[in-house]
Structure 1
Amino acid sequence: MTKIKNNSYVLFFYNDSKKWLNKISKDQSLHTHVGVIKHSDAIGKEYGSRIRTNKDKYVYLLEPTIHDFVMKSQHGTQIVYPKDLGYIAARAGVQSGQKIVEIGTGSGALTTFLASIVKPRGHVYTFDVEPKFMQIAEKNITRAGMIKYVTMENLNIKEAKKMPVTEADMAIIDLGDPWTVIPQVRKMLKGSGAVVSICPTMNQLEKLTIALIENEFTDIECSEHILRTIDAREGKTRHSFYGIGHTTYLAYARKAFFDRKEKK
């Protein structure tokens, strides 16, 4: 039985649109539409229990998952949504112990997710050119308890003379011009290592695919993933009126050798 303590993270859950991720502090209260939630009321209770607000509403005390930390991240940039995260992990075969390179840290949502899979023996090396965004990302990654599995560096991979990582199992690119770093990514990946790029537009996919072929990548796949939620209620189950639409296109490929002279 896991009981909530001071400094524990709790997801206060009222319904799907009213939920709050908080670090418990015995002297604090959370003021919401459903009433005041006293942190002290949660201390000593088991995750899954419920407490009552001053407006006589029940709120459940749920243990946060990586999904919760990702969706409640502070956003300096657009995050990668769970529907895309799951496919990336499955398609690239991400597993514990792997070495992963991320180019474009953003808000750290994807970094957090990948670190949660490769830990405790694996590691994520993430690079970005915007110190302001990296500060936000570091807070998000630390909040989720993943920072010790992540190395963050303010570095422009496009201009790097020496690659900071070699023999990586996977590289993920979240840039507006991902094709410009494919030669560098190739140098950092092991043979058959995977690269995944996040592309908001199809024009980016076209340019990226050309660069992947030129740099000897195979098993190229481009896809879009749509999640449609259902409002399931007795006698009136239907598709939800609201939901996340287009978020991104994903490009996947693997490093191969085309019997050309290896680029230096």
Structure 2
Amino acid sequence: MIISEGSLVLFFFNSDKKWLIRIENEKKLHTHLGIIDAGSTIGLEYGSHILTNKDKKIFLLPPNTYDFVMKSQRTTQIVYPKDYGYIAARTGLRNGSKVLEIGTGSAALSTFLASIVMPEGHVYTFDVNEDFMSIAKKNLEKSSMDPYVTQGIYDPEKIGQIRDVDLVVIDLGDPWNYLDIIYPSMKSGASVVCICPTMNQLENLATHFFHGGFIDSDCVETFIRKIEAREGKTRPSMRMIGHTTYLGFARKVLK
């Protein structure tokens, strides 16, 4: 695949030093590794490399969903990719699923959800803060996921018009207050996952699941540890992402 003007390219030096850039003819990126001439990549093939003016080799990669999420513009704390796979597996998310999300934030999780349910499914995402919406829209457009996502300001009446939802995601500080609102929109047996930064929130959520028409409650925290794999001296990395959030899952049953 050939890089052209307007293409998005991940400039990769190593796992800690990489840049996601939209290519323009005269564009140059000034880094501590030297000047990266983005315009010079036009006509090159993804997977090839260029040199900075300090002779540092920079590889040209096509960005994937992980890259878009980690390089997205942020106004709030995002749900990290380490949680994405478990959310998808635990809820049965797939192409064609209809997803309702309350708490768009920077649309990092929205981007991932859309990449799974596309092209036949759709994500309806709402936020209580209108200021977040423009940044979320830009991030969705950058990843080309915007055709599969409908954004809106939180409105219980609009949410009530969405039916037969396969998965609900609630990423707000008081998710239990939204369970009665999202319940009518969900298919019987559909899943809900709530993002809870603290154990107090998780405990309160689990109590409301029990009394609110939800079963199969599951509260988890995921960790990921990188391994520095080098010949003769492979060991775990000295640094890792610690606690980010707890995930509270449940499934709807008829009351």
Work out whether the TM-score is over 0.5.
yes
Cα distance in 1 between the residues matched to 2:192 and 2:4: 41
State the SS of the aligned residue for 1:213: helix
Task: Please state if 1:8 is matched with 2:7.
Answer: yes
What is the CA distance between 1:162 and its match in structure 2? 6.5
Task: Identify the residue that residue 111 of structure 1 maps to in structure 2.
Answer: 110
For residues 101-141 of structure 1, the C-alpha deviation after alignment (integer angstroms, 9 at most, x for no partner) is: 00000110000000011111111000011111111111111
Task: Identify the residue that residue 152 of structure 1 maps to in structure 2.
Answer: 151
Task: Identify the residue that residue 211 of structure 2 maps to in structure 1.
Answer: 214
How is 1:110-129 mapped onto 2 (pairs within 5 angstroms)? 110-129=109-128
For residues 42-74 of structure 1, the C-alpha deviation after alignment (integer angstroms, 9 at most, x for no partner) is: 111111111111000100001100000000011
2:182 pairs, out of 160, 185, 191, with: 185
Task: Identify the residue that residue 51 of structure 1 maps to in structure 2.
Answer: 50
What is the CA distance between 1:156 and its match in structure 2? 4.0
Task: Identify the residue that residue 93 of structure 1 maps to in structure 2.
Answer: 92
Given that 2:159 and 2:185 are in contact with CA atoms closer than 8 Å, whether structure 1 keeps it comes out as no
Runs of 4+ with deviation above 6 angstroms: none
Task: Please state if 1:233 is matched with 2:255.
Answer: no
Task: Identify the residue that residue 20 of structure 1 maps to in structure 2.
Answer: 19
Write the letter of the residue equivalent to 1:256.
V
How is 1:33-48 mapped onto 2 (pairs within 5 angstroms)? 33-48=32-47
How is 1:161-172 mapped onto 2 (pairs within 5 angstroms)? 163-172=160-169
Given that 2:97 and 2:117 are in contact with CA atoms closer than 8 Å, whether structure 1 keeps it comes out as yes
State the SS of the aligned residue for 2:63: coil
What is the CA distance between 1:40 and its match in structure 2? 2.0
Cα distance in 2 between the residues matched to 1:168 and 1:36: 48
Cα distance in 1 between the residues matched to 2:158 and 2:8: 42
Distance 1:78-1:212 versus aligned 2 partners, 3 A rule: same
Cα distance in 2 between the residues matched to 1:26 and 1:93: 43
Write the letter of the residue equivalent to 1:124.
V
State the SS of the aligned residue for 1:91: helix
What is the CA distance between 1:239 and its match in structure 2? 1.0
For residues 72-119 of structure 1, the C-alpha deviation after alignment (integer angstroms, 9 at most, x for no partner) is: 011100011110011101111111111100000011000000001111
Task: Identify the residue that residue 176 of structure 1 maps to in structure 2.
Answer: 173
What residue ranges of structure 2 are gaps of 5+ in the alignment?
Answer: none
Cα distance in 2 between the residues matched to 1:80 and 1:142: 19
Cα distance in 2 between the residues matched to 1:247 and 1:88: 15
For residues 139-178 of structure 1, the C-alpha deviation after alignment (integer angstroms, 9 at most, x for no partner) is: 1111100001010001244xx4871311101100000000
Task: Identify the residue that residue 64 of structure 1 maps to in structure 2.
Answer: 63
Cα distance in 1 between the residues matched to 2:3 and 2:240: 32
Write the letter of the residue equivalent to 1:108.
A
Identity of aligned residues (%): 54
Task: Identify the residue that residue 221 of structure 2 maps to in structure 1.
Answer: 224
Task: Identify the residue that residue 196 of structure 1 maps to in structure 2.
Answer: 193
Cα distance in 2 between the residues matched to 1:248 and 1:33: 33
Cα distance in 1 between the residues matched to 2:149 and 2:40: 34
Cα distance in 1 between the residues matched to 2:44 and 2:110: 31
Cα distance in 1 between the residues matched to 2:41 and 2:47: 11
Distance 1:162-1:134 versus aligned 2 partners, 3 A rule: closer
TM-score, normalising length from structure 1? 0.94
Cα distance in 1 between the residues matched to 2:178 and 2:72: 27
Write the letter of the residue equivalent to 2:247.
L
TM-score, normalising length from structure 2? 0.97
State the SS of the aligned residue for 2:247: strand
